[in-house]
Amino acid sequence: MPAEFVKALPILQKIRNSGYEAYFVGGSVRDVLLHRQIHDVDIATSAYPAETKQIFEHTIDIGIAHGTVLVLADGDEYEVTTFRTEDVYVDYRRPSHVNFVRQLSEDLLRRDFTINAFALADDGQVIDLHGGIADLEAEILRAVGNPAERFNEDALRIMRGLRFAAVLNFDLESKTFASMKDHAHLLAKISIERIFIELDKLLTADYWHKGFRDLLAIEAYPYLPDFSDQTALARLLALPSDFKFTNSVQAWGYLAHQLGATDGKFLLKKWKVSREFSSAVSDFLTAYHKRQQGDFSPEDLYKLGKSSLTLVEELFAAQNLETNFEHISVLDSQLQIRSRQAIAVSAGQIMTAFGIQPGPQIGQLYHQIELEIVKGQLKNTPQEIFNYVKRNFERT
């Protein structure tokens, strides 16, 4: 067992010593079997929430209506969830009601894919009731039970399936693939924020080519904001199959470029991303368009940042276009300021020294000072700036 499981074993053992069943479940068990690094340690138990709270001294009700209790032990936190079944789903995403049960088999039946339907006991035994180990060995992604039922219950599982294909380099099992295609229209009913999370993980995965190709193949794209142009989307796959996006900004920026977006903000507004992320993607797009016209300038570096320029250059390299990473490094080393606040003299100091009144005149002058410093034509020192004002004030 990995260290994370070993550390959590006392939680399982304390539950079992109290007369209940308890197992590690979910993606962490899958990742252990695949020898991948695990992240969250999830525990499922036959104990009902009230019973779990009686077992442990320190708990927090974080999702008790759905059977989850947060157990605090030795400075760590563990989500302990009661075995459960789920009633009819509403809005193709959430169950109208959950029922607590005592049988692990009923709980595993509600999981999305066989490779996520494992349980691991404290003695190291893997409980696999749906052929998940065979699917891991065959590198196949298969829905648990009837795939139509799984995707009708929660249509977000379609995007999760595409993401798993991209992360694990697994193929979609034929019936699962067909059902994902049949139910792709249900994505229109799912929160765009949740879809963005899954698509973002897909695009930044090692095998994003596979996941994105599957997204096109199941015809999910018409149900995603501004993704109706299949030809434009397919151009993403012209990148080398071994190319990996450095980060989300690069992935979404290049995707927006293929879709013909000029600044990205209009597209991303529909995806309801943060303003910060939207601005970063827009900076990338601006940098990409400028790079298509020639080498970057000092002003480009100052306004858009070294990160945006480097991300663009990486994509140029992936397309076998001429690149000049050294030019970006030189521009960065020569840049005297990173923001207006770094200018050695404030606008107020200039107004006081030269008797300039507030208004457009000082704004234009200070902006010109900023540009001259960025271009390297004016040293960022008080003396040089005051000399510049003396020479140019009457002409502003």
Binding site membership for Mg(2+): which residues?
Answer: 40, 42
Q: For the residues of 208-231, what is the DSSP string, one character each?
A: HHHHHHHHHHTT-GGGSTT---HH
- Evaluate whether 272 touches 196 at the Cβ level (below 8 Å): yes
Nearest to 284 by CA among 374, 297, 222, 261: 261
If DSSP states are collapsed to H, E and C, what string results for 23-82?
A: EEECHHHHHHHCCCCCCCCEEEECCCHHHHHHHCCCEEEEEHHHCEEEEEECCEEEEEEE
CB 23 within 8 A of CB 33: no
Q: Count CB neighbours of 353 within 10 A.
A: 13
**Bridge partners (DSSP) listed for residue 68:** 63, 81
Phi then psi dihedrals of residue 149, to 5 deg: -65, -40
Q: How many CA atoms lie within 13 A of 175 on its CB side?
A: 10
Q: Residue ranges for the binding site?
A: 27, 30, 40, 42, 111, 154, 157, 160, 163
Annotated binding site for ATP: 27, 30, 111, 154, 157, 160, 163
Q: Give CA–CA dist 311/252, Å, rounded.
A: 12
Whole-angstrom Cα distance, residue 11 to residue 9?
5
**Angle, alpha carbons 331-332-335 (nearest 5°):** 85
Element (H, E) at 12: helix 3-17
Q: Which residues pair with 42 in a beta bridge?
A: 25, 79
**Residue 248: enclosing H or E segment and its boundaries?**
helix 248-258
- Binding site for CTP: which residues? 27, 30, 111, 154, 157, 160, 163
What count of other Cβ atoms lies within 10 Å of the Cβ of residue 277? 17
Rounded CA separation 154/43 (Å): 22
